[in-house]
């Protein structure tokens, strides 16, 4: 049994594959969506998304957004998403710097959490 997995960013569709399981970094904790999962919608925190399909495992880094999971589909709408291979140290530093800057301008608890999540998420290599 497989589920249709889709990863879209505002600019383009990054992936659309049949997957057997998808690990998603939800705002309240990571979870794995498998076929037959109860329908749910959750927001994302920065972190790695792991897609297991017949042709192997792919990983993507997402900066935020939300995921819609149902029994047969898993759609991730990411604000920005990068394939694992594109995550260069420069890009990681850039993402952290952006979160840092956002935190300095906003100064709220939310932005502090985002910064922490970003730092932690990026470090998971």
Q: Which residues, listed in sequence order, are joined to residue 97 by a DSSP beta bridge?
A: none
Q: How many C-beta atoms lie closer than 10 Å to residue 57's C-beta?
A: 12
Interface positions, 53-112, toward other proteins (CB under 8 A): 65-66, 68, 70, 75, 77, 79-80
Interior angle at CA 12, CA 10 and CA 13, nearest 5: 110
Per the listing, tokens 């998304």 go with 49
Among 5, 9, 25, 47, binds other proteins (CB under 8 A): 9
17 binds other proteins, rule: CB under 8 A: no
Report d(CA 11, CA 14) in Å as an integer: 9
By CB under 8 A, tell whether 121 contacts other proteins.
Answer: no
Identity of the residue, 6 or 59, whose beta carbon is nearer to other proteins in the bound complex = 6
Binding site for other proteins (CB under 8 A): 6, 8-13, 26-28, 38-43, 65-66, 68, 70, 75, 77, 79-80
């Amino acid at each position: 049994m497989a589920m249709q997995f889709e990863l879209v960013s505002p600019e383009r569709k990054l992936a659309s594959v049949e997957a057997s399981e998808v690990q998603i970094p939800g705002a309240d904790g990571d979870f794995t969506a498998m076929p037959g999962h109860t329908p749910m919608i959750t927001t994302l925190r920065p972190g790695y998304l792991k897609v297991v399909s017949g042709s192997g495992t792919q990983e993507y880094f997402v900066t935020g957004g939300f995921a819609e999971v149902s029994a047969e589909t898993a759609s991730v709408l990411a604000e920005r998403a990068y394939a694992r291979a594109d995550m260069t140290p420069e890009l990681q530093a850039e993402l952290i710097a952006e979160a840092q800057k956002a935190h300095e301008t906003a100064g709220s608890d939310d932005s502090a959490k985002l910064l922490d999540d970003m730092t932690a998420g990026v470090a998971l290599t």
